Amino acid sequence: MTTAASASPEPVGPVDSSRIPRYAGPATFARLPRLDEVGGRADVAVVGVPFDTGVSYRPGARFGGNAIREASRLLRPYNPAQDASPFALAQVADAGDIAANPFNINEAVETIEAAADDLLGTGARMMTLGGDHTIALPILRSVAKKHGPVALLHFDAHLDTWDTYFGAEYTHGTPFRRAVEEGILDTSALSHVGTRGPLYGKKDLDDDEKMGFGIVTSADVMRRGVDEVADQLRQRIGDRPLYISIDIDVLDPAHAPGTGTPEAGGLTSRELLEIVRGLSSCNLVSADVVEVAPAYDHAEITCVAASHTAYELTTIMSRQIAAARQG
């Protein structure tokens, strides 16, 4: 097994699958070293947040992070779509899980924010595996402390800009309203991608527009194609610090049955991956993939899609870190 040394000038990569079978050993993301095996510092820290107390329908996303890790055993170190070996360009490590109180949402949000502060304080970028979408808010708070208000691309079937469920201010349907209210998002560079399905009323869209969000629906992606959509998103984001948040239910249930609030008519996994790859020139400072609920997954379809999506996001961050070091 590959061993890590904090003094090593080269990044420590994943276990060699030609020597040790993929099904053997601990399931870190992409079989990468643990954070403690690289001296507690990484350029990109892959971290799980097993929290789903904020869901409004089917639970189970608390098991998503580890299920994504299991599915990621099949990832390989060279990414031909981006012509990069991300784990050789920068040190990527699995930082384990942030343990948050499952019985107290407000306390959990505070715990996640403090843990994100610690990770980002080391200089790492975060690739977070959820958990439900509630977790995006505390991570955005932490990212904004470092970068100021950030641009947001939100891939989701739903808006997640509602005000409350059952009087609770923190749920998986409210994170981006709270983020706008708190001033941690750059409201000139916000967009939903892949939205679809029924709403509570037209006011949902009116409120969303007032917050500054643009919308690219799943039907827009189908009609206009991934290249045009990616180009539009790049123009909207520009060179601003960018956070990408991906609810796996942006995919059609045929491609992601393992999620809590599925909606018909979604993106294919191919469309999602191609749009993400099309954002490789954006200044991606951190990202998440959330709402993977493996209890409803069939043959790991959802987990495989989520692991590949996280891999593409990690590749983008690794390439940008390497480019910055080269000047």
pLDDT value at residue 327 = 82
Residue ranges of domains in the chain, CATH in brackets = 29-315 (3.40.800.10)
Rounded distance between C-alpha atoms, residue 307 and residue 294, angstroms: 13
Residue-wise pLDDT for 3-38, tens only, equals 333 444 799 999 999 999 999 999 999 999 999 999
Task: Specify burial of residue 211 (Cβ count, 10 A radius: 0-12, 13-18, 19+).
Answer: middle
Spatial contact of 169 and 178, defined as CB atoms under 8 Å apart: yes
Bridge partners (DSSP) listed for residue 289? 129, 246
Residue-wise pLDDT for 67-120, tens only, equals 999 999 999 999 999 999 999 999 999 999 999 999 999 999 999 999 999 999
Rounded distance between C-alpha atoms, residue 304 and residue 81, angstroms: 17
Whether the predicted pLDDT of 179 surpasses 60: yes
Dihedral pair phi/psi, residue 217, rounded to 5°: -75, 165
Residue-wise pLDDT for 123-150, tens only, equals 999 999 999 999 999 999 999 999 999 9
Residue-wise pLDDT for 291-319, tens only, equals 999 999 989 999 999 999 999 999 999 99
Residue-wise pLDDT for 265-274, tens only, equals 999 999 999 9
pLDDT value at residue 1 = 35
Residue-wise pLDDT for 186-198, tens only, equals 999 999 999 999 9
Residue-wise pLDDT for 216-251, tens only, equals 999 999 999 999 999 999 999 999 999 999 999 999
Give every strand in the sheet of 125-130, ordered side by side. Answer: 92-97, 44-49, 125-130, 283-290, 241-247, 150-155, 185-195, 213-217
- 111: tokens are 């715990």
Mean pLDDT of the chain: 96
